[in-house]
């Protein structure tokens, strides 16, 4: 059986390492909601709405969630979601 080693970084900079069997997928305790938050985080960074340091500070204070990141988006752009911003 082939084994793969995967690495990723959490938003607080901690490194996670997992060893996966080819036929078994492992998630790093990341829920679908976390995936949505990651999508909003990336949108904010990639569109120059806020810096990574700014997002890190806000999420350290208010928690890492879609709601928190949407609050940053709203404060900077007036849009309530990335879907609204894309219209």
Using 50 as the pLDDT threshold, list the residues of the chain that sit under it: 1-30
High-pLDDT (> 90) share of the chain, %: 57
pTM of the model: 0.63
State the Cα–Cα distance between residues 45 and 54, nearest whole angstrom. 10
Q: 82 and 52 in one domain?
A: yes
Its sign, for the CA torsion 25, 30, 33, 36, is negative
Write phi, then psi, for 7 (nearest 5 degrees).
Answer: -135, 145
31-49 pLDDT per residue, tens: 556 789 999 999 999 999 9
Predicted pLDDT at 34:
73
Q: In Å, how far are 2, 7, 31, 41, 70 from 18, measured between CA atoms? A: 14, 7, 16, 23, 30
Q: 66 and 37 in one domain?
A: yes
Q: 12 and 42 in one domain?
A: no
Predicted pLDDT at 6:
41
CA Rg value for the chain = 15
Predicted pLDDT at 70:
97
């Amino acid at each position: 059986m082939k084994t793969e080693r995967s690495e990723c970084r959490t938003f607080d900079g901690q490194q996670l390492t997992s060893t996966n069997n080819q036929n078994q997928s492992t998630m790093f305790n990341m829920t679908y909601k976390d995936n949505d938050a990651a999508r909003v985080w990336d949108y904010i960074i990639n569109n120059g709405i806020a810096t990574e340091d700014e997002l890190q500070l806000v999420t350290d204070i208010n928690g890492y969630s879609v709601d928190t990141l949407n609050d940053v988006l709203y404060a900077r752009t007036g849009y309530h979601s990335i879907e609204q911003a894309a219209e």
